[in-house]
Amino acid sequence: AKLIFTISLLLGTTITISSNHWIMAWAGLEINTLAILPMISKSHHPRAIEAATKYFLTQATASALVLFSSMTNAWYTGQWDITQLTHPTSCLILTSAIAMKLGLVPFHFWFPEVLQGSPLITGLLLSTMMKFPPITLLFMTSPSLNSTLLTWMALLSAALGGWMGLNQTQVRKILAFSSISHLGWMAIIITYNPKLTLLNFYLYALMTATVFLTLNSIKASKLSVLMTTWTKIPPLSATLLLTLLSLAGLPPLTGFLPKWLIIQELTKQNMAVAATMISLLSLLSLFFYLRLAYCATITL
């Protein structure tokens, strides 16, 4: 049965990414949602079951909204092409649907609890592979999207992702808030230069996969356990430090590259205020990355 779920995850992602008809995109999203549910609830712990329920309800609502937006667009323009989403109401509904799928503020409430209730590898899949189809849909419809709405959601995501991650001791919740904050960076630039969104996503997926896999090998789920990493695999704690600083976006590490390019593009589009605000709000997430790095590398 696990094979069917893994194949379905790959199938669903591939269907959505390679689609040009809204029905195929929706079918892929639904297959992804269904396939990951048993992976979230594998331990049958009440917290895992609750996480699976929350995930299913929010993602099903978002899929329904995707269908509504595509149908409204088909009603008014007579075609179902994803790149030709021209009706403004459809773009609005689609933006909120994708925000719900990704976990952008104000639709982020499910994300920390779902990540906390799932095993670490499933959490990795939730943060990287499940984000890929919605971002692809945003990429394909990016010329028609409303930049004001996306900028507001992005700034609020960076703010809330940073602020709410500060008081966490559970690593999976910290990673959820880091994901929300990175999604803010991805969303702010999508209407101006969608390729930067994709670059940001690829690099974020790589770095986050590293962190999740590291945490999985040392079986750490909270900060106190993270403090004993140096006894288990000392080089791993060193690389974890570098990866966390890269996630925070510190030069000269790779994580700085998307931030730099995004700030440059925003400034060229006369959005210097937004660029400044999102950079300052990323300082909040820098604090909890530093705290994670400190806990991982301190030798007691």
Partner 1 sequence: MMKFVLFLGLCFALGGLAVASNPSPYYGVVGLVVASIAGCGWLVSLGVSFVSLVLVMVYLGGMLVVFVYSVSLAADPYPEAWVDWGVIGYGVGMGLVVMVGFAMGGAFDVLVDGGTVNSAGLSSVRLDFSGVAVFYSWGAGLLLVGGWGLLLTLFVVLELVRGLSRGAIRAV
Which residue lies nearer to partner 1 by CB, 33 or 193?
33
Would you call 81 helix, strand, or coil by DSSP?
strand
Smallest separation (angstroms) from partner 1 to the CB of 221: 20
Taking a C-beta distance cutoff of 8 angstroms, is the pair 232, 218 a contact? yes
Smallest separation (angstroms) from partner 1 to the CB of 5: 7
Residue 219 buriedness (CB in 10 A; 0-12 / 13-18 / 19+) = exposed
Taking a C-beta distance cutoff of 8 angstroms, is the pair 165, 181 a contact? yes
Which residue lies nearer to partner 1 by CB, 46 or 234?
46
Which residue(s) pair with 170 in the sheet? 222
Smallest separation (angstroms) from partner 1 to the CB of 141: 21
Residue 275 buriedness (CB in 10 A; 0-12 / 13-18 / 19+) = buried
Cα radius of gyration (the chain): 19
Would you call 167 helix, strand, or coil by DSSP?
coil
The amino acid at residue 199 is: L
- Residues contributing to the site for partner 1 (CB under 8 A): 1, 4-5, 8, 11, 15, 23-24, 27, 30-31, 34-35, 37-38, 41, 43-46, 49-50, 52
Which residue lies nearer to partner 1 by CB, 32 or 142?
32
Which residue lies nearer to partner 1 by CB, 46 or 106?
46
Smallest separation (angstroms) from partner 1 to the CB of 110: 18
Which residue lies nearer to partner 1 by CB, 52 or 187?
52
Smallest separation (angstroms) from partner 1 to the CB of 42: 8
Interatomic CA distance for residues 41 and 118, integer angstroms: 7
The amino acid at residue 196 is: L
Smallest separation (angstroms) from partner 1 to the CB of 46: 3
Which residue lies nearer to partner 1 by CB, 126 or 284?
126
Residue 112 buriedness (CB in 10 A; 0-12 / 13-18 / 19+) = buried
